[in-house]
Amino acid sequence: MKIFCGYTMEINELNDQRARRREELNYFESLGINPYPYEFRKTHSAKEILSNFRDENPELYSNVSIAGRIMTFRRMGKATFCDIQDESGRIQVYFKKNDLGDSYDLLKYLDIGDIIGIEGFVFRTRMGEITVHTQKFIILCKSLTPIPVPKIEEDESGNKIIHDQFSDKELRYRHRYIDLIVNPDVRDVFRKRAKIISYIRNYFDNRGWLEVETPILQPIYGGATARPFITHHNALDIDLYLRIADELYLKRLIVGGFEGVYEISKNFRNEGMDRMHNPEFTALEIYVAYKDYFWVMELVEDLLNSLVKYLFNNEIIVYNNIEINFSKPFARRKMFDLFKEYTGEDLKDKTEEELLKIGKKLGLDFPESPSRAKILDEIFSEIVQPNLIQPTFVIDYPIEMSPLAKKHRSEQGLVERFELFINGFEVANAFSELNDPRDQRARFEEQAKLRAKGDEEAMVLDEDFLYALEVGMPPTGGLGIGIDRLVMLLTNQNSIRDVILFPQMKPENL
């Protein structure tokens, strides 16, 4: 038993800071103070005050109200400083016993992490810091559990040194809200992510293309080669798949007469997780009628070039200490030319057997009886891809690797497809879309053979999609962009988990 500011309470030896905060909360309630009130009228953000306050006319800031989370305390007896953090940043707040009277004593029962509202006037301290002098304050939310408290020091040149940074990745991902509170850089990444997505959306809308929503729950999954998540619809008593791509539905809309449709949405793939893969990820797909892949290349070039200029005021960005230049035009390289350059071999007319031999000579491992597509893919991603640092369109893929792309207009055995590589990873994938229903059926049948051979990722034949193609789809250019990877690139992040707010984690208690 202990006397606590005239209010008697039990403090159990076994309890920790959380118990103490609950007692503080009870104390507030015993005084008739609601620690969880309903609203607060803010007049300014921290940033507005810090960037607009002028010493010449402080009267413009003689009556401000701000609100935010208490991040630091510097208590000095009858005066207290603390830093309040709102969405815009941090600002110092000053409390003085003379001005606040009895309510000053309530400060004792506030903690780092509590959210408070402040009314007062702005001034500059002796040390030169713009500060809100509190005339009235109100608790807006009592925080019942302590959060990490990194200390931020500024050296002479204004660089921030962070002590005791909240850095445990597991805790940061599991409790992203804490990560967001205490690591300002994390907030910036997700602000930038939102900017990127809204820029792309505006770019498309301004060209008159229609944003649509297609099914996430699909009876037949298609549009990519990947293993799906399976779920069950009880009323229909059928299995449904979470989509692995939007492609086949968006093409149906081109058949329906829309001439430009796009979707920015989550796809789901039931595969491994690593720094480049999360089971749910955000993809952009767009299809525009009467266009081919050359046109799409120019679209991608212009979209990314203008996006980078919008974000950085520059065409050159730095990722992982490497300069990446987004000025137009991007390099365009035929896939088999790249093979020749990096393997010294012309792989174009080689048989499966010859390719396998070359691949093994290059030191690569292959699964049991790989298809021609798999071998080429392996050689490409291991030998060629890591070299593609500057934005590079790789064009004209072998037909076996691309069952939804249209046959090349002049080259036997190839399709009109490109992928854009930046910093060694794929950012975009596009085709002149296959719209000949006879050819599409033949390609699906090829996929079915692979599936029969045990390739779980081979595509499934979609009769309704073929029916749509029979109705007739105009020539169409299509494009997919992995938004998460693009965001990684543009925010200089190394792991997809750092650009997804709540990345997939194993449950803690298994």
User: Per CB under 7 A, which of residues 343..402 are in contact with RNA?
Assistant: 365-367, 374, 377-378, 380-382, 401
Give the residue with the Cβ less far from RNA, 423 or 495: 495
Residue 391 beta carbon to RNA: minimum distance, rounded to whole angstroms = 16
Residue whose CB is less far from RNA, 199 or 366: 366
b vs e for 476-509, b when ≥16 Cβ sit within 10 Å of the residue's Cβ?
A: bbbbbbbbbbbbbbbbebeebbbbbeebeeeeee
Question: Shortest distance, CB of residue 492 to RNA, whole angstroms?
Answer: 14
- At its nearest, how many Å lie between RNA and the CB of residue 236? 27
User: Which residues in 157-176 contact RNA (CB under 7 A)?
Assistant: 163-171, 173
Stretch that binds RNA, among 33-41, 54-62, 186-194, 223-231 (CB under 7 A): 223-231
For RNA, the closer CB: 97 or 350: 97
Paired with 420 in beta bridges are 393, 428
> If binding is defined by CB under 7 A, does position 16 make contact with RNA?
yes
CA-nearest of 338, 224, 211 to 286 is 211
Strand-pair partners of 437: none
Scanning 60-68, 140-148, 195-203, 463-471 for contacts with RNA by CB under 7 A, the matching segment is 140-148
CB of 42 to RNA, least distance (A): 22
- The answer to whether 339 and 358 have CB atoms below 8 angstroms apart is no
C-alpha angle 499/497/313, rounded to 5°?
Answer: 25
CA atoms within 13 A on the CB side of 361: 9
Q: Are 383 and 362 in contact (CB under 8 A)?
A: yes
Could you give the string, one character per residue 399-418, with x where binding to RNA holds by CB under 7 A and - elsewhere?
Answer: --x-----------------
> Residue 139 or residue 255: which is nearer to RNA going by CB?
139
> Which of 54, 62, 63, 75 contacts RNA by CB under 7 A?
75
Q: By CB under 7 A, name the one of 44, 45, 84, 111 that touches RNA.
A: 111
- DSSP assignment of 337-363: HHHHHHHSS--TT--HHHHHHHHHHTT
- Smallest gap from Cβ 191 to RNA, in A, equals 22
Min dist CB 92 to RNA, Å, is 5
Site residues (CB under 7 A) for RNA, limited to 193-222: none
Work out which of 7, 42, 47, 112 binds RNA, going by CB under 7 A.
112
Q: How far apart are CA 362 and CA 383, in angstroms?
A: 8
Phi-psi bin for 290: left (phi > 0), alpha (psi -120 to 50), beta?
A: left
Tell me which residues in 260-279 interact with RNA (CB under 7 A).
269, 271-272, 274-277
Q: Tell me if 462 contacts RNA by CB under 7 A.
A: no
Nearest to 260, CA basis, from 298, 205, 201:
205
Which C-beta is closer to RNA: that of 255 or that of 335?
335
At a CB cut-off of 8 Å and minimum separation 6, what does 29 contact? 35
- Cα(421)–Cα(476) distance, integer angstroms: 22
- Position 439 contacts RNA (CB under 7 A): no
Encoded one letter per residue, x for contact with RNA by CB under 7 A and - for no contact, window 55-74 reads -----------------xxx
Over its C-alpha atoms, the chain yields an Rg (Å, rounded) of 29
The site that binds RNA (CB under 7 A) totals a number of residues, namely: 83
Task: Tell me the HSE value of 138 on the side-chain side, using a 13 A CA sphere.
Answer: 16
